Structure 1
Amino acid sequence: MSKPLMALLASALLLTGGPVRAESSTSYSMALLTENFPPYNMSVDGKNYAQEADLSGIAVEIVREMYTRAGIAYTMTLRFPWERIYNTALNQPNYGVFVTARLPERESLFKWVGPIGPDDWILLAKGDSPVQVNSLDDAKRQGLRIGAYKGDAIAENLTAKGLELELSLRDQENAEKLQSGSIDVWATGDPAGRYLARQQGITRLKTVLRFQTSELFLALNKETPDDVVKRLQDALDQMRKDGAVERITASYQ
């Protein structure tokens, strides 16, 4: 084969291969929404609105690195309340929301990337509380006052099981309610609940029931191209293999 022909074929491969794929990735941009949910996502100043560099947390750092490795443009905004940003990602193309539990009833509503981290569901009580709980049915029989975060998967799950909850618009309010005795137990995630409580200066808590093991994900609007989802998942898988996920997680413990 002549050198001119080889050069022509090489040029053709470049035009139809890598550069085209890279352009399709970088030209696609997503708007990512999150909430104050330490230690996974939070605003630097603790307020309920923040953008870009004013966000921190395990999931924030993992998602940033994931999008960078995948070569996909994005913006990142923290807003309030959770129901608003969840529904925006559910209904608006090019939007995503993190972190959220990948539940059976949500499976077909989004395209998923993850898992980003664990989120066991627990009932927390004050360290000196006499409360003992063997199951959710036991908590219901005892008539315990259960605090939970409105719109959160934990609250939805417990409500569906017939438990009556005292709902708060911010999960950290439940730490305060527990401390003041306004509620008997707090239905929250682990490690998120204890992290929130420490921010409030509350450290003497005990787990009285661990009732579900869950994983947290990035949920993308269903119209997100499959190629974009795959690039993100591949990037996250590589981050887990090379230790990036472990290093980020460890920095918040």
Structure 2
Amino acid sequence: MRKLWLPIASVLLSCALGMGTAQAELPPGYRVVLLTENFPPFNMAVDDKNFARDEAIDGISTDLVREMFKRAGIDYSLSLRFPWDRLYNLTLESPNYGLFSVSRTEARGPLFKWVGPLGKTRKVLMALPGSTIRVPDLAAAAKLRVGAYKNSAVSQMLKDKGVVASEVLRDQENIARLQKNEIDVWATTDVVGRYLAKQQGVSNLQTLLSFQESDLYLALNKDTPDEVVNRLQQALDAMRQEGVVDSITRNYL
């Protein structure tokens, strides 16, 4: 009797362990609608236009997100659109929508479910080479003409600190505004700002002030099943451990 019980116990134990690691089923035909914008080098249209789909989109975050969904076994569609505030509100209001790359701020935290981090950026105030402007802190920036990207994490933080910025719908427009002396400084993120400036033939921008580092995430609508969030986070964690995240990042920087 004891010999019979041992294999039965082994089977029961295996089943119990399997139940602990098994993935929950998602609804038939489940798909995440992924949105992104031109935010190079993290996400961008191959042809630099403001609308693209699927393979016509690349960048650090784009490649990471594709691999995450592949490993997680979750179907998705991907489109790059414009402007940012429309994409943000669509994701906020629409079940099964996701948006990347999004800075995870304290104010945004409870509004979405999050997977990440996908990368890191540093908020900065930049000026053209040779500028004599000095900005020791954000209080000093309040006295300047500051250009920013509408509804971005940078512009939101400036507002919170009492800095009124002149906002535009495309961040790269601020480069021309600097050159035309329409603004004194450009509030942007370090990697993105330098990349955009380089695309327009402008190099050696001066960093006058660095005021916050931010992690970039995939933001998912709050109604997204926890199973989806967990699968994607586990996939990203494994990719980071395997060196895939670093490898993809090096492809663009």
Global fold match (TM > 0.5): yes
Amino acid at match of 1:150: K
Same amino acid, percent of matched pairs? 51
Counterpart position of 1:49: 51
Give the structure 2 partner of residue 117 of structure 1: 119
Please list, as runs of the form range in 1=range in 2, the aligned pairs for 1:185-204 lying within 5 A after superposition. 185-204=185-204
Post-superposition offset of 1:231: 0.5
Conserved in 1, the CA contact under 8 Å of 2:24 and 2:227?
Answer: no
Aligned to 1:89: 91
Q: Match for residue 62 of structure 1?
A: 64
How many angstroms apart in 1 are the aligned matches of 2:28 and 2:161?
44
Hey, what does 1:163 align to over in structure 2? Answer: 163
CA-to-partner distance for each residue in 1:113-152, whole Å, 9 max, x for gaps?
0010001100011111001111000222xx2111000011
What does 1:140-151 correspond to in 2, within 5 Å?
Answer: 140=142, 143-151=143-151
Alpha-carbon distance, 1:175 to partner: 1.4
Alignment pair present for 1:103 and 2:137: no
Alignment match, 2:209: 209
Distance change in 2, residues 1:26/1:236 (3 Å): farther
Q: In 2, distance between residues paired with 1:26 and 1:240? A: 30
Superposed displacement of residue 28, structure 1: 2.5
1:31 aligns with 2:33: yes
Q: Is the 8 A contact 1:94 1:224 kept in 2?
A: yes
- Across the aligned residues of Structure 1 and Structure 2, the Cα RMSD in angstroms comes to 2.3
Q: Extract unaligned runs of 5+ from structure 2.
A: none
Offset of residue 180 of structure 1? 2.5
Given the two structures, how large is their TM-score scaled by the length of structure 2? Answer: 0.90
Would you say the 8 A contact 1:176–1:200 is kept in 2? no
Q: Partner of 1:133: helix, strand, or coil?
A: coil
How many aligned residue pairs are there? 244
TM-score with structure 1 length normalisation? 0.90
Alpha-carbon spacing, 1:201–1:26, altered in 2? closer, same or farther (3 Å):
farther
CA displacement 1:137-171 (0-9 Å, x = unmatched): 0222xx21110000111101101221121111100
Distance change in 2, residues 1:193/1:214 (3 Å): same
Shift of 1:24: 2.8
SS in structure 2 at match of 1:80: coil
Selected match of 2:76 from 69, 74, 77: 74
Structure 2: distance between partners of 1:94 and 1:85: 13
Q: 2:144 & 2:169 partners in 1: Cα distance?
A: 20
Letter matched to residue 81 of structure 2: R
Give the aligned residue type for 1:239: M
Cα distance in 1 for residues equivalent to 2:186 and 2:42: 19
CA distance in 2, matches of 1:148, 1:214: 17
Deviations 1:15-62 (A, max 9, x none): x979x8485388421000000000100101111110000001111001
Deviation beyond 3 Å, 4+ runs, structure 1: 20-23
Q: Is the 8 A contact 1:127 1:204 kept in 2?
A: yes
